[in-house]
Every structure is written in C-alpha cells, then in structure tokens.
Amino acid sequence: MTLIGAELSTVEAGVIEIRLPFRSDLTQQDGFLHAGIITTIADSAAGYAAYTMMPAASRVLSVEFKVNLMRPARGETFVARAEVVKSGRTLSVVRADVFAISGKGEKEVVATMQGTMMCLV
C-alpha cells in the first residue's frame, strides 16, 4: 500500500474504502492503471472489510478472488470499495468495486471483485 501510495479512506463494520491517486508508474502498456494494481487495492479493501467482522486476535488471509475488468482504468484517483456479503466463522465472502474518478469528479466503475477471505485465530 505504501509503495503504490494508497490509503484507507473509509472504515465501517463490513465496509472499507481505499483511495489511490494516479501515478504513471502504475500503468500498463496503454497508460491505464495496471490490472495488478487494481487487484491490489481491491484485495486489500476486501481483506480489511472481512477483518472488521472478525475477532480481535485473529488474522485475515485471502483465499481466492475473481476480478472482472470492465473499462480502461483512467482517472485522477481510484477508489476500491469492499463490502462483506457473508461473514462466517472461518470463511467470508466479500465483493469489491473499483471506481475511477476523473478530474471533474465523475465516477465510473472500472472493475469488480468477488472473493473469499479466511479468518485465522
């Protein structure tokens, strides 16, 4: 998160937002945010979101996730918003959307993730 310049912007029970300002060294060959970076912020948001519902002494681990890249990720800021769909004792299912926000404040969803997080106690 530090390496790419991302930061937590919302923390609620079961909901996390991570904000990432655009940086040209995070892009792929066409100048859009790289799919791996999109996944990094989506997965981090998803993990933290699941973690907000877990016992205090536990740790969270990503089991798996699936990402659909829906539009070229171009914008001045990117926001990954994760929401817990089902919080279980061992496994949780989380959904995360990644939005691109233009200089004029226009917001467009560019990717969506569905994944499984594990609680380790």
Q: How far is the CB of 66 from a second copy (least distance, A)?
A: 4
Q: Which stretch binds a second copy (CB under 8 A): 8-16, 27-35, 99-107?
A: 27-35
CB-nearer residue toward a second copy: 9 or 62: 62
Q: Which stretch binds a second copy (CB under 8 A): 13-21, 30-38, 99-107?
A: 30-38
User: Which listed residue (39, 75, 81, 84) binds a second copy by CB under 8 A?
Assistant: 39
φ and ψ of 54, to 5 deg:
-100, 160
Q: Does 74 bind a second copy (CB under 8 A)?
A: no
* Contact partners, residue 97, CB within 8 Å, separation at least 6: 80, 81, 109, 111, 112, 113
Q: Which amino acid is at 1?
A: M
Q: How many CA atoms lie within 13 A of 81 on its CB side?
A: 12
